[in-house]
Amino acid sequence: MTTNTAAGHSEKKGDPKRHPVVASVRNLKKDFGEQKVLADISLDLHETENLVILGRSGTGKSVLIKCMVGLIRADAGEVTVLGYDVNTLTPEQLNEMRQQIGFSFQSSALYDSMTVRENLAFPLKRNLKIYDRKQQDEMINTALQDVGLENTAGKMPAELSGGMKKRIGIARTLILNPKIMLYDEPTAGLDPMTSTEINELILKVREKYKTSSIIITHDISCARQTSDRIIALVNGLNKAEATFGELEHTEDPDLAPFFKY
């Protein structure tokens, strides 16, 4: 059974469907050889919405967002992000679009040979061409304050816990003031307390930066805490689209195991 219901949101989160669409996917398909990963995916992301893509490992969640930013070319379908037709962009246009999108990698993707400060300065120099040390420091300090790690600028990634690395990875993305945030398994490998802190940070980022976010996860606690709306992927298809509250009592055999926690 496929569920496609209008999202009914709490007063705290509002109704994102009243806001403009900032990204859309229509009939997206992607195979890797004999393996069908995305069979026919369609979705809309609305301004300031936190949209969770829920699914088991290997269901194509990460492939979906990589197609959305042009890291992987879809076999068929349409992708529009911030007004850009992703499938037709030149390399220069792709870079222009990506500068408006923050990507929080599952592994944090910090440069091991750089300090935290140097990791955060890197996108300032590369993307914004900001070389003034004082201006860099002001922006770096603000980003670190936003993730609650003001005193880590001189540390190396090896000195940080898994949760701290996740936060620094988010700070490095926020320093470019993105319009859209993409979180790939933000709580993977973290203990429950640290996972809760990361979930709270995702909500804080949305509140301060007014970001629209897609959150890829198989962690039901993350989905419950961060989502305005959930799309569940099963066998490369949108199995369900609804709020957490609408899905948590589902009897669908493909979805019910997620909600037995």
The tens digit of pLDDT for each residue in 62-106 reads 899 999 999 999 999 999 999 999 999 999 999 999 999 998 887
Q: Is residue 90 part of a domain?
A: no
List all residues 6 or more positions away from 59 whose beta carbon is below 8 Å from its beta carbon.
233, 234, 235, 236
What span, in angstroms and rounded, lies between the C-alpha atoms of 163 and 214? 20
Range of the domain at 125: 114-177
Q: Is residue 173 part of a domain?
A: yes
Q: Is residue 34 part of a domain?
A: no
More confident residue, 7 or 242: 242
Query: Which residues sit opposite 101 in a β-bridge?
Result: 180
* pLDDT over 90 (residue 232): yes
Q: Is residue 137 part of a domain?
A: yes
Average pLDDT rounded to a whole number, residues 54-61: 85
* DSSP E strand stretches across the chain: 3-4, 21-32, 35-46, 50-54, 76-81, 84-85, 101-104, 180-184, 212-217, 229-234, 237-242
Q: Is residue 40 part of a domain?
A: no
Q: Is residue 153 part of a domain?
A: yes
Q: Is residue 189 part of a domain?
A: no
pLDDT for the residue 236: 86
Per cent of the chain over pLDDT 70 is 93
* Six-digit token string for 192: 């429950």
pLDDT for the residue 17: 63
pTM: 0.88
* Dihedral Cα 170, 176, 179, 182, nearest 10 deg: -30
Q: Rounded to a whole number, what is the distance in angstroms from the first to the last CA of the chain? A: 22
Q: How confident is the model at residue 107 (pLDDT cuts 50, 70, 90)?
A: confident
Q: Is residue 142 part of a domain?
A: yes
- For 108-137, what is each residue's pLDDT tens digit? 889 999 999 999 999 999 989 999 999 999
User: What CA–CA distances, in Å, run from 76 to 20, 27, 98?
Assistant: 25, 7, 21
Q: Give the count of domains, the chain.
A: 1
* Beta strand pairing call for 212-217 and 180-184: parallel
What span, in angstroms and rounded, lies between the C-alpha atoms of 75 and 207? 36
